[in-house]
Structures are given as structure tokens and as C-alpha cells.
A and B are shown apart, each in its own frame.
Chain A
Amino acid sequence: MQYLDFEKPIADLEKKIEELHELSVSDEVLKPELNRLREKADQLRESIFTNLTRWQRVQLARHPERPYTFDYIHHITDNFVELHGDRNFADDKALVGGFATIDGRSVMIMGHQKGRDTKDRKYRNFGMANPEGYRKAYRLMKLAEKFGVPVVTLLDTPGAFPGLEAEERGQAEAIARNLKMMAMLRVPIISVVIGEGASGGALGIGMGNEVYMMENTWYSVISPESCSSILWKTWEYKEQAAKELKLTATDLKELNIIDGVIPEPLGGAHRDWDKASGALKNQLLESLDRLKKLNPDQLVDGRIEKYAAMGDWTVKEQIKSNEQA
């Protein structure tokens, strides 16, 4: 288990418990002390994880042992058939998807895919998709529509890839076209942020009828680091940027941007993949049931109304209605 800096007290205690546990196997006298420490560890975890700062959530969202898209697919679906390629240029390894079943129901499930070790991370381009990734997503969503299958998208990217070839092949156009397509898609779309929801790269597959975030994830127009470098002209202010950006699941629920927060096991999804997957699956089943009752027109209208209502502004009487230069 890899511990984050703010988890250090927990790490120390867990190490002690482990040592004591080994000793207690031969010495019964140590049992009460062991139980006391375990209780203390629970309390410590509870107190640390109920008072996380926004920056700490960002760190948890990036935890290298968190479940990624394929992990969730393997935990919550059966019969998964992965589909490759955008039919134009390439198969993007950073954005994956295919048909599968969840509790016997067909879905199209797709998401950004990060790598686990150094080699794998490079292979998956750190979860940063190129235009062909977004165009593959386009193709798969249109396939789902053709066969009347609901779409589930899992968002986990530090951003769309900012590379020379990505620009050359139209990164912006690929994302823009997906947004317009998703608005009109005649099957349900359910989107869930499972890690990092960085800007257009995340939204490019994320225009759900319903949108959820796992408890320890972030979703924002920009990463705290980039925000710091632009607005403060230095990388030093990432923690404050995270605070100002209001980018956690509870923030977005309060802002009415997402429909709900999916609880994670105490300490984060990486501590218990089964439990995290179970919570995600429950939410998906509930949403699938609800959206199944809507006809295609209702799905499209509902989706467009949902996004049209987003934003915050005020109405002021005009001071000069007849402006003359």
C-alpha cells in the first residue's frame, strides 16, 4: 500500500499494528493492546478522511492504486467485448470501450484508461486521449444508439493530450463534435468521474443524462497546478487553486452540476476495489432503471435542458439602452 503524505499517521499506526499482530500470535497478553490500537487506527482514519482538504482529494483521485476503467469493467460487468479504433487513423489506448452486460443488461461502457506501471502508463499515454480516442468514443456511442443500448462513460484523465500531432489532427474539433453528438444521442448516457475529471478532455465523453462523481475525485475546467501557473504565475499555489476551484464531488453536487456522490470505502477506492465497484454498480443500476422509462425524445430533451440550465448570472437593467459612440 502506498501512503500519501497526509496519511503518514495512519501508516505509522498500521505498521505498529502489524508488528504487534505478529507478536500476539504467540503472546495472548498483547491482544488487548492490539485491539486498542486497531480502534485507534479506525478513529484516526475516520478523523483524517472526514476532514480532507480539496487538495488532499485531488491527491486521492490520483492515487496510483485506484481502480481504473478496466478494473471497474472487470468488477461490475460480464461478457465484455472490447472494440478498437476510430476507423480513420488509429486505436487510442488512452480511451477504451466496448459492449458488456451489467446484471444481464447490455450497455456500452467506455472510459479513459491510465496505466499501472511505468511501461503501462506510457502505453496508455497517462490517460490522455488523442483525437482518435474521442473519435472512437463517437463511433462507439453511435453504435450504442443504433442498437438501442445505454451508454456508460467513466471519466479519469489529467486532460486531453496537448501534443503536436493531437493539434494537427484536430483535438478541439474531435471534442467539440462529441459534445454536439452526445446532446442528441437517443439512448441514455450515464457518466461517472472515477478519478480525475480534467476539463474538455473529461467532458468530451461526459455529457450524461445523469452525472456522478466517486467521493474522492475532482472535476474542473483546469488542474490546480495549471491554474496556479496561469493565475499566480508559479506552480506553488496548487493547494490554494484547488480550494478556489471548488472541484470536489461535494462541491459539484452543491453547484448542481452533478446528480450525486458515490461513496468510497474509508481511506479511498484503492483500499477496497470490491466495495468501490459495488457502490458504482448500485448507482449505475439505479440510473439505468430510471432512464429506461424515458423515450428517446425525452432523453434528448432532458439532456439539452440539463446543460442549458447550467451557469450562474444575474439580470441587471441596462443603464444606457441607446448607446451612441
Chain B
Amino acid sequence: MSWFKRKDTNIQTEKKKDMPEGVWVKVPATGETIHRRELEENFWVDPMSGYHFRIGSHEYFSFLFDEGEFTGLGDEIHPTDPLEFQDRKKYNDRLIDTQKKTGLTDACRVGIGKMNGLDVVIACMDFSFIGGSMGSVVGERLARAIDQARQNQIPLIIISQSGGARMMESVLSLMQMAKTSAKLAQLEKAKVPYISVMTNPTTGGVTASYAMLGDFNVSEPGALIGFAGPRVIRQTIGRDLPDDFQTAEYLLEHGFLDFIIPRPKMKQKLTRLLKLVLHKYESG
């Protein structure tokens, strides 16, 4: 057995991929088309309108981690169907089909790596996996991400995109709110910085737990962020909602976000913020 055996056996490299098929992509905000390569090079943001295309953990990891390199955490944790839930489709079938379709095992991935040379733990949700819903696997992977950050005093970033808790796990998914919040309470006690990045959309039980518990709550422009969905609210109050209701800009205005950050500037700004609170500028 060699003493220089590589410690991390699980180093992964993300390359940019997974966008709408075809060379030309239509921008929903304007109806214009843009070349796929140009879009990828601009972090999947339309340079003309600033429209942020929804991307997943693969894309976020590819540009937030230096060289797209990171060590995965909790990939071996897979979902089950504890309640044998069945709506129009069996939950178990839904899981298998979604796994096949997306190549993901559940709606959250965790990576440990470097961001501009700084050690970070990044957890990122994937909306493409059952609406980014939070079930037991999301809760457990996040719990491990938070523990990892706390035990090694490494800053934590959680990128949220979710319709809320996963109904097919009923009360078990509800309790993931308690679980992740309890873990974040421990992280806070250890004085490890945590940045919550909200992307489109972040709603329901995810907003009402870890997404709103950052030392810093930030968002991409235009993201929908809220507790109840706009349709439910409209039904409840019986009148129309303001145009900018539950947008990132609306939340900033009402005091729930520290700042809004366009995706192309995200890595740099998050790094700067972390370096400030970690006193990295003083030692350099």
C-alpha cells in the first residue's frame, strides 16, 4: 500500500452541458434567439435582456468551483418510498423515471472544493428533479453538507431552487425543515459563514427553512421567492397581486435579501464576501 495514495478518490469535474437542445435557443423574456455557445459562455444569461435561464447543479458547480473540480458528498444516499405513496403515478416509479430522465439521484447535490482558492462546501438543488422538492434525501445531504462545513470550519453555500417540500414523503419531508434548521443552528454556533443563494423559484418549506436562514440571503435577479404560491394567495385574498410580487427585487425592497447578484458576477462577489468575514484580506 502506497503512502502517497490519493486521499480524495471522488474528485469530479463538471463541464458545461445540459441546455435546451439545438444550436439556437429562444429567450423567453424577449422572444429573440441566441446562439447556444454564446449563452453558455455568459453563464446561461442572455446578455441582451439579462434573462437568467434555469440551470442545475452541474452548471453551478462547473463555474463556482475552480476548474469545475470538487469532491462529492452524500452521492451514495438514495431516495426510498417510505409511505408507498401513489397519486396518479406511484412515487417509486416517479423516482425511477426522474432518475433516468435527469441523470440525477435526487434534488440536491453537494460538493466540496475551492472557489477562487477558498475552501467551500456548496450544496445545490436541481429543479429538474420533481420540482426541486425537498424530501429525506435532500434533508440528509444538506445535513451532511452542514456538518462538513461545521467540523472543518469551511464556509457553506446553499443554492436553492425548489417548489417546496416533497408531498410524496408527507410528514417526513416536513420534518426536513426542522432537521436542516437544527443543523444550521449548530453551524451558527460554530461561527461558520453560510450564504443562501435563492434562484428561480424558491418557495414553500425550503424558503421557510434553510433558504431564509443564511448569514447572507442573496438571490439571482428576477427569481420567484415566497412561502405560499401566487395562485393560492390570489385565491385567498380575491384580488390581483402586484406585478413584482414575490420577485427577488420585491424581497430586497422588503428587507429579506442582502443583495441581488447576476449570475456572471456571482462567484466573484460571494468570494469577496467570504474573504471579508474570514479576514482573508488582512492576512494577505
> Which of A's residues lie within 8 Å of B, judged by CB?
160-164, 166-173, 175-177, 179-181, 183-184, 199-200, 203-204, 207, 219-222, 226-227, 230-232, 237, 241, 244-247, 252, 255, 257, 303-304, 307-308, 310-318, 321-325
Contacts and interface: CB of A to CB of B under 8 A. Distances in A.
Contacts, number: 210
A324 B13 contact: yes
A272 B204 CA distance: 37
B63 to A, nearest CB: 13
B236 A162 contact: yes
B174 A163 contact: no
Given A162-B228, A308-B143, A316-B76, A180 B184 contact: yes
A167 B226 contact: yes
Contacts of B179: 307-308, 310-311
Nearest to B209: A176
Interface in B117-143: 135-137, 139-140, 143
Given A168-B254, A179-B208, A183-B186, 13 more contacts: A162-B233, A169-B254, A170-B254, A179-B178, A183-B178, A199-B174, A207-B182, A220-B170, A221-B171, A227-B167, A313-B137, A322-B12, A323-B12
Q: Nearest 7 A-B pairs (CB), nearest first?
A: A311-B136, A162-B228, A179-B181, A325-B15, A183-B182, A172-B207, A312-B82
A220 B171 contact: yes
Interface residues of B, number: 73
Given A164-B241, A221-B205, A172 B140 contact: no
Contact of B227 (A167, A222, A247, A316): A167
B266 interface: no
A230 B255 CA distance: 31
Given A166-B227, A321-B9, A325-B14, A171 B170 contact: no
Contact of B58 (A183, A318, A325): A325
Interface string B192-236: 000000000000110111111100000000000011110011001
Contacts of B233: 162-164, 167
Contacts of B181: 176, 179-180, 183
Contact of B178 (A203, A220, A245): A203
Which has the most chain B C-beta neighbours within 10 Å: A172, A183, A307?
A172
Contact of A304 (B80, B137, B177, B182): B182
B228 A257 contact: no
A227 B232 CA distance: 13
Contacts of B30: none
Interface string B1-41: 00000000111111111000000000000000000000000
B77 interface: yes
10 contacts: A167-B228, A168-B254, A169-B254, A172-B207, A200-B205, A204-B208, A247-B171, A255-B171, A312-B172, A318-B76
Contact of A246 (B14, B78, B171, B227): B171
Contact of B185 (A172, A180, A245): A180
A324 B58 CA distance: 11
Interface string B241-279: 100011000000011100000000000000000000000
A314 B95 CA distance: 13
A313 B139 CA distance: 10
Contact of B11 (A173, A180, A230, A322): A322
